[in-house]
C-alpha cells in the first residue's frame, strides 16, 4: 500500500510560519497521519487473499484521504464564512413542472439505487430496516421492487434496481432478494465502504486487523456512494451497459419514486446533478438546505452552522427549503469527478462511545454535499408527497392508514383530504417498537380528518376507531387507557384510566 501517503499542505505551512500554535498543530497532524498510515499499511499487508486485499486496500486508501483531510481541517480551523451564505438564486433551485410530453424511452438510460445500509434497531427490529413490513404485508424492499417492476412492464424498458448495502445489511439482503428471481427486474447489489473507527484520544484505528470485530468498523455515511460505486466496479459496468443517469434515495423514503418530469428536466437543463428539495415546515428545521456560496450551489447542514446563527438556519424566513436526499446524478460526471480525484465532501465528525466505554470518532460524509462538484447542478422544489420517510412507528401509523392508497408499490394520499399536508402524529415510548405498535392497534384508526395526535403512556386502540381534529391521549404512570371498538374522538383530550370490559 505504498500509494498511501500523507499530503502536507505546503502553501498552508508557508503561511503558518511564525504562528507557534499552528506549527504545533501542523506537527501533531503530521505525526498522527504518519502513524495512521503505518497502521493501515500493516492491516493491508495482513490480508492474504489477493482479491480481498485489493478491495481492502482501496477502502483504506479512501479512508486515509478522509482522515488526513480531517486532520488538516482541524489544524486550519477553517469554517464557512456566514456572511457569504445566501439563499439560492432562482436558477439554482427550479420549481417542479409537469411537462406536456415526455418520451418514456429515456428510462432505458436510468438506474435506480436505494441506500440500504441501515438497520431497523431504532424501531425495535432485527436486520436491515428495508425488511420491516410497512403496508399490506409488504416491506420497504417489496414496495420498491414492485415500483420498478411496474415501470419496466408499463413502458417496456429495463431499469436496473441497485441496493447499496453496508457490512451490517449485506448477508441478510443477499438472502432476501432471492425471492425476486422470477420478477421482471434486474437487481444488483454492492457494499458501501467499511471504515475503521478511530480512538478519540490516540487517533489510532480501533481494529487490529482486517477481520477485527464488527464493532470496530462503521459505514461512513451515504457520501461514500461515489467511492463505493467506483471501487466496486459497478460505475464502469453501468456506463458500459448504456446507463447515463442514476436516481438515488433512502430505502425508507416511500415518496421517492421514479418521476419522468424530473428526469426530463435534468436532461433539458443538462444538469449533472439534481437535488430534490421541498418546502420546509416546523418539523424539518434541522434538514440541510441548498445555499448560494460565492456563486455556486452548496449544501448547508445544521452541523456546519455556528451556534449564534442556529435560529436563523432553523427559521423558514431565510432558508425556505430542505434536502429530501432524493438525488439524480449523471454517471459519466461521477466518473469524471472520481478520475480527477476532485471529490472533497464536508466531513461530519460523529462522536460515539462503544459498549466498552471507549470514546471513538467516525468520519462520515453526505451525498448532498457533492452538489458543489458537478456542473450546472440544480435543486428542484418538489411536492411534499415525494418526501415520505418512515423513521418511527409514528410515521408507520400514517403509512398503514387509509390516508394513503397503494397501487403498484406507490403510495398516494387520499384526495378526499381537503386540507393540505399530513397530520402530526407523536406516539410515546410504549409504541416505539414495531411489535408493541402492532399489539396496541386492533386495527389502524381512520385518521383522514386528523390534524394532530399525541399518545403517551399505556394506551391501546380497539377496532374501527376514528380520530379527527386534535386528539391527545395520556395515560399517566400506573394508568391504562383502552379506546373501545368503534369510538369516534374529535378534538378530545383523554386522560386518567379508561377500560371498558365486555361481559
Q: Length of the chain, please?
A: 503
320 three-state secondary structure? coil
46 is known to lie in a ligand binding site = no
Give dist(CA 392, CA 134) in Å, integer.
11
Please identify which residue in the block is written with the cell numbers 482479491. 51
Task: Give the bridge partners for 321, in sequence order.
Answer: 279
Check: CB of residue 439 under 8 Å from CB of residue 177: no
Catalytic residue set: 391
The stretches of 220-288 forming alpha helices (DSSP H) are: 225-231, 234-240, 260-269
318 is known to lie in a ligand binding site = no
Check: CB of residue 467 under 8 Å from CB of residue 454: no
SS3 track for 399-442: HHCCCEEEECCEEEECCCCCCCCCCEEEECHHHCCHHHHHHHEC
127 is known to lie in a ligand binding site = no
192 is known to lie in a ligand binding site = yes
221 is known to lie in a ligand binding site = yes
Longest CA–CA separation in the chain, Å: 87
Contacts of 31 (CB under 8 A, 6+ apart): none
Measured from the Cβ of residue 10, the count of other Cβ atoms closer than 10 Å reads 8
Give dist(CA 51, CA 67) in Å, integer.
25
Check: CB of residue 281 under 8 Å from CB of residue 322: no
Per-residue cell: 482: 383502552
Say if residue 283 is exposed, middle or buried (CB neighbours under 10 Å; 0-12, 13-18, 19+).
exposed
Main-chain dihedrals φ then ψ at residue 299, nearest 5 degrees: -100, 135
Torsion of CA 207, 208, 214, 215, to 10 degrees: -50
**Kind and range of the H or E run holding 155:** helix 140-155
Binding-site residues, in ranges, read 129, 192, 221-222, 252, 391
Binding-site residues for UTP, in ranges, read 129, 192, 221, 252, 391
Binding-site residues for substrate, in ranges, read 222
Amino acid at each position: 500500500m505504498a500509494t498511501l501517503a500523507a499530503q502536507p499542505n505546503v502553501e498552508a505551512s508557508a503561511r503558518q510560519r511564525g504562528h507557534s500554535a499552528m506549527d504545533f498543530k501542523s506537527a501533531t497532524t503530521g505525526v498522527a497521519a504518519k502513524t495512521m498510515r503505518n497502521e493501515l499499511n500493516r492491516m493491508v499487508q495482513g490480508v492474504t487473499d489477493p482479491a480481498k486485499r485489493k478491495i481492502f486496500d482501496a477502502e483504506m486508501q479512501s479512508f486515509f484521504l478522509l482522515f488526513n483531510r480531517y486532520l488538516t481541517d482541524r489544524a486550519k480551523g477553517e469554517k464557512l464564512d456566514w456572511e457569504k451564505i445566501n439563499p439560492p438564486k432562482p436558477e439554482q433551485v427550479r420549481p417542479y413542472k409537469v411537462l406536456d410530453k415526455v418520451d418514456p424511452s429515456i428510462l432505458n438510460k436510468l438506474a435506480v439505487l436505494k441506500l440500504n445500509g441501515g438497520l431497523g434497531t431504532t424501531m425495535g427490529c432485527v436486520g436491515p430496516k428495508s425488511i420491516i413490513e410497512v403496508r399490506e404485508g409488504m416491506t420497504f424492499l417489496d414496495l420498491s421492487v414492485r415500483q420498478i417492476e411496474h415501470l419496466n412492464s408499463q413502458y417496456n424498458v429495463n431499469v436496473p434496481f441497485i441496493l447499496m448495502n453496508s457490512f451490517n445489511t449485506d448477508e441478510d439482503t443477499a438472502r432476501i432478494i432471492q425471492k425476486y428471481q422470477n420478477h421482471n427486474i434486474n437487481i444488483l447489489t454492492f457494499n458501501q465502504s467499511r471504515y475503521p473507527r478511530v480512538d478519540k484520544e490516540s487517533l489510532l484505528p480501533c481494529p487490529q486487523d482486517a477481520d477485527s470485530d464488527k464493532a470496530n468498523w462503521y459505514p461512513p455515511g451515504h457520501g461514500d456512494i461515489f467511492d463505493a460505486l467506483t471501487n466496486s466496479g459497478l460505475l464502469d459496468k453501468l456506463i458500459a451497459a448504456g446507463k447515463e443517469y442514476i436516481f438515488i434515495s433512502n430505502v425508507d423514503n416511500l415518496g421517492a419514486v421514479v418521476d419522468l418530469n424530473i428526469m426530463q428536466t435534468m436532461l433539458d437543463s443538462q444538469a449533472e446533478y439534481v437535488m430534490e428539495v421541498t418546502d420546509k415546515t416546523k418539523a424539518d428545521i434541522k434538514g440541510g438546505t441548498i445555499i448560494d456560496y460565492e456563486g455556486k450551489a452548496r449544501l448547508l447542514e445544521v452541523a456546519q452552522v455556528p451556534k449564534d446563527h442556529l435560529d436563523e438556519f432553523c427559521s423558514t424566513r431565510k432558508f425556505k427549503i430542505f434536502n429530501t436526499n432524493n438525488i439524480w446524478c449523471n454517471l459519466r460526471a461521477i466518473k469524471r469527478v472520481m478520475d480527477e480525484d476532485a471529490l472533497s465532501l464536508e466531513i461530519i465528525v460523529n462522536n460515539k462511545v462503544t459498549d466498552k466505554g471507549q470514546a471513538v470518532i467516525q468520519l462520515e460524509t453526505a451525498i448532498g454535499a457533492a452538489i458543489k462538484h458537478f456542473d450546472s447542478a440544480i435543486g428542484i422544489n418538489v411536492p411534499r408527497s415525494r418526501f415520505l420517510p418512515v423513521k418511527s412507528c409514528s410515521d408507520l401509523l400514517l403509512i398503514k392508514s387509509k390516508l394513503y392508497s397503494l397501487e403498484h408499490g406507490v403510495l398516494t394520499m387520499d384526495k378526499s383530504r381537503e386540507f393540505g399536508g399530513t397530520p402530526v402524529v407523536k406516539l410515546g415510548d410504549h409504541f416505539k417498537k414495531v411489535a408493541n405498535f402492532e399489539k396496541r392497534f386492533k386495527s389502524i384508526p381512520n385518521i383522514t380528518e386528523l390534524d394532530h395526535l399525541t399518545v403517551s403512556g399505556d394506551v391501546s386502540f380497539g377496532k374501527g376507531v376514528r380520530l379527527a381534529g386534535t386528539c391527545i391521549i395520556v395515560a399517566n404512570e400506573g394508568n391504562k387507557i383502552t379506546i373501545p371498538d368503534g369510538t369516534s374522538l374529535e378534538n378530545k383530550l383523554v386522560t386518567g384510566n379508561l377500560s371498558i370490559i365486555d361481559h
